[in-house]
A = this chain, B = another copy of it.
Amino acid sequence: MGLNNKYDVIVIGSGPSGFTAAIRAIQLGAKVAIVEKSLIGGTCLNCGCLPTKFLWQALKLKRKIQKSYEYGFKVNLEPIVFSNILIKKDKNIINLRKGMKAILSSYNVDIIEGVASFMDKNNLIVSNNEGNNILEIFSDRIIIASGTSPSIMKGIEFDGNRIINSTNALNLKEIPKSMLVVGGGAIGIEMATIFSGFGCHVTLAENKNCLLPNEDREVSEEIKRNLIKQGVDILISCSDALNDIDKYEKVLIVTGRMPNNDLKLERAGIKTIGKGFVETNEFCQTNVSNIYAVGDIAGRSLLAYTAQSEGAIAAENAVKMNSISINNFVIPQVVFSMPPSSSVKVSNFLRCKNVIYGKFPFTASGRAFIENERSGFVKCAVDKTNKKPLAFWIVGAHSDELINVASQIIKSDICHMSRESVFHPSFSESLFNAYEDAFDKCVELTKKNKDLKL
């Protein structure tokens, strides 16, 4: 094997975690290669966060246009051709991918196109899509960032045409007349929101007894109400959704994601757990000490931003010998319903005692009022004893950015929120108002409203 095939760090996968790991490792002085079997950017850029948000953004704009009479405008929006939106979506994604490639190139990361598999704990074979080996590469440290793929469901065959997964759905050339979405988690809600928003008759089926079963019940109910208002049929506690699939033009299965672990991990002796996720410790290190795993494949939270954090930490640890651990993450969660919904909690929230709650509806926010985005609320959990904010839930416009305000508040571990640190008039003020409501001290709610609270 030539010197050119020897690296300090090899990263498998170029999604958020792999990309971050590769750049950070090279910033720290390592010689780095990244192996990608498909498109640079991974799920997040190509068939996850970003295309979903583009379509969601398009829907949001459509609704803004349709409500623009609230500003005295007269607007005629011509019937929307969905394929035109897709053309723009693809253009955006291609440009963003070019941007990522430009960053990798500027840092001289070797980009190796192909499918990686382990020969042993330091050697990888890269093969092409036909399965022919094209390259052997060696590295002191290897970071696995191979991601996840949409789950396959027992007893039903994906054909990519009528029975589809989220990747297929994001590339549908036209809006189907009807669609069954199976799975009432974040992805199912986002897909139902988008397709229904553009005119599809969507039925959303969840086998648990509410949407987003792990989320606060009030949030889950608010999302459900908004979906129903938008025209979505919702079936909860529904275990037999697939019995009746003939009546839908498309059936979209979004019941989860499974690890991309077809890397011959056993040849390196790498341990997996659960559904086949790679087991890691607090340094993002696998049971094989020179091998790290980050992002979805490590199965921690399947979120792009924790993946990025893990990628950066694994790179530091791979190059500088386990210097950083990933304990005590404060992680916001967002679902792109319409309006979006989000939450963030202290990590030990479920063990907190003496919790009191405050709530502030966006109807009472001056800024939400003039922006004509009056739907939803902020709910806040506070430790009654020391007044520390413990959790925020937000359903409403901009909650995907507002949750980052909440996240910094939770992270900062303060026992007092003070109003002058939040601009007026802004949506973010509502976090403060919800916090004060927990003590019955919000000045922007009537006494009567307060009696009606939770």
A74→B78 contact, CB < 8 A? yes
Residues 394-437 of chain A: 1 if any B CB is under 8 Å from the residue's CB, otherwise 0? 00001011111101110111100011111111111100000000
Distance to closest chain B CB from A18 (angstroms): 11
For A349, what are the chain B residues with a Cβ–Cβ distance below 8 Å? none
A65→B73 contact, CB < 8 A? yes
User: CA separation between A273 and B364, bound complex, in Å?
Assistant: 37
Q: Is A27 an interface residue (CB 8 A)?
A: yes
User: CA separation between A84 and B69, bound complex, in Å?
Assistant: 9
A421→B304 contact, CB < 8 A? no
Assess A422 versus B407: contact at CB under 8 Å? Given A68-B65, A81-B72.
yes
Q: Which of B77, B92, B408, B421 contacts A329 (CB 8 A)?
A: B421
Q: How many A residues, CB 8 Å from partner? A: 99
A398→B398 contact, CB < 8 A? yes
For A421, what are the chain B residues with a Cβ–Cβ distance below 8 Å? 329-332, 404, 407-408, 411
Assess A62 versus B53: contact at CB under 8 Å? Given A309-B418, A342-B423, A411-B412.
no
User: CA separation between A342 and B423, bound complex, in Å?
Assistant: 10
For A331, what are the chain B residues with a Cβ–Cβ distance below 8 Å? 420-421
Residues 97-125 of chain A: 1 if any B CB is under 8 Å from the residue's CB, otherwise 0? 00100110111000000000000000000
For A61, what are the chain B residues with a Cβ–Cβ distance below 8 Å? 64, 68, 71, 73
- Which of A212-220, A236-244, A251-259, A438-446 is found at the contact surface with chain B? A438-446
Q: Is A356 an interface residue (CB 8 A)?
A: no
Assess A103 versus B404: contact at CB under 8 Å? Given A88-B71, A423-B334.
no
Distance to closest chain B CB from A45 (angstroms): 7
A305→B427 contact, CB < 8 A? no
A403→B420 contact, CB < 8 A? no
Q: Is A30 an interface residue (CB 8 A)?
A: no
A306→B404 contact, CB < 8 A? no
For A81, what are the chain B residues with a Cβ–Cβ distance below 8 Å? 72
Assess A71 versus B50: contact at CB under 8 Å? Given A332-B423, A403-B423, A424-B305.
no
The chain B residue with its CB closest to the CB of A417 is: B408
For A401, what are the chain B residues with a Cβ–Cβ distance below 8 Å? 398, 401-402, 405, 423, 426-428
- Residues of A at the B interface (CB closer than 8 Å) are 16, 19-20, 23-24, 27, 44-45, 49-50, 53-54, 57-58, 61-62, 64-65, 68, 70-78, 80-81, 84-88, 92, 95-96, 99, 102-103, 105-107, 303-306, 308-309, 312, 329-334, 342, 364, 366-367, 369-371, 398, 400-405, 407-409, 411-414, 418-429, 440-441, 443-449
Nearest first, the 5 closest Cβ-Cβ pairs linking A and B are: A412-B412, A72-B84, A106-B446, A408-B408, A404-B428
Q: Please, could you name 7 A-B residue pairs with CB atoms under 8 Å apart, sorted by A? A: A50-B425, A71-B85, A72-B85, A96-B366, A306-B420, A401-B401, A401-B402
